[in-house]
């Protein structure tokens, strides 16, 4: 789903971004394959996303997460589901799960939302709410944040705009800096309890969860 192409400006060098601090003890939410550990960083495989893969100068491992489970679902399983409502196919969710991670040290993220966007002189429509056709340009902002020494990026989820989305840099944030918390929803494969949560949430936003 490419979406319309907009004029994404090049990031300033150096990137003078505001800090968004994830303090030790903060819980973050991740939706991921059941075949991957909750704290496993993506080594650069798969399709291009808004801020990954990035190379500075070599590939930087990344981990996407969100402030809430709702936002994590919207940024993953519902990412390409039309906002007018549609269906979530069984193959899209049955091998996935939601895990909750606890941050064990303060993480300093580049703030790409609110006053952080004003500081950088860009609008969300130019950076954090663009379509997939712009991901090659938006990824340059992740490179700039990495070069500026941040541990990752924080921005407002364009699909659940009451919660932040996060990208963590795997060469700055290690397995000792995030740990699995016992609060996750678990697998979404029916009849697991996670499926009940997923189907209830999707019904609330007008998406039918298919069982076959």
pLDDT (tens digit, 9 = 90+) per residue, 25-42? Answer: 999 999 999 999 999 999
Helix, strand, or coil (residue 8): coil
Average pLDDT over residues 103-115: 98
Among 168, 186, 150, CA closest to 39: 168
Share of the chain above pLDDT 90, in %: 89
Helix, strand, or coil (residue 193): helix
User: Given CA atoms 138, 142, 145, 147 in this order, what sign does their dihedral have?
Assistant: negative
Predicted local distance difference test score (pLDDT) of residue 2? 46
Q: What are the φ/ψ torsions at residue 124 (nearest 5 degrees)? A: -55, -35
Residue 82's pLDDT band (boundaries 50, 70, 90)? confident
> Domain coordinates of the chain in residue numbers?
19-83+100-184
User: Does 177 or 47 have the greater pLDDT score?
Assistant: 177
Q: Is the pLDDT of residue 83 over 90?
A: no
Residue 6's pLDDT band (boundaries 50, 70, 90)? low
């Amino acid at each position: 789903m490419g979406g319309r192409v907009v004029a994404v400006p090049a990031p300033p060098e150096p990137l003078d971004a505001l800090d968004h601090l994830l303090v030790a003890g903060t819980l973050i939410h991740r939706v991921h394959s059941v075949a991957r550990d909750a704290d496993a960083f993506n080594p650069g495989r798969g399709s291009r996303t808004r801020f990954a893969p990035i190379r500075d100068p070599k590939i930087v491992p990344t981990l996407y997460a969100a402030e809430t489970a709702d936002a994590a679902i919207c940024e993953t399983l519902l990412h390409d589901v039309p906002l007018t409502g549609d269906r979530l196919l069984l193959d899209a969710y049955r091998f996935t799960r939601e895990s909750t991670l606890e941050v064990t040290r303060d993480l300093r993220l580049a703030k790409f939302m609110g006053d952080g966007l004003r500081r950088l002189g860009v609008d969300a429509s130019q950076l954090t709410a663009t379509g997939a056709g712009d991901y090659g340009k938006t990824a340059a902002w992740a490179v700039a944040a990495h070069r500026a020494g941040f541990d990752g990026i924080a921005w407002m989820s364009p699909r659940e705009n009451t919660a932040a989305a996060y990208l963590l840099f795997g060469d700055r944030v290690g397995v000792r800096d995030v740990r699995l918390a016992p609060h996750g929803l678990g697998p979404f494969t029916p009849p697991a309890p996670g499926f009940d949560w997923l189907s209830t949430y999707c019904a609330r936003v007008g998406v039918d969860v298919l069982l076959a």
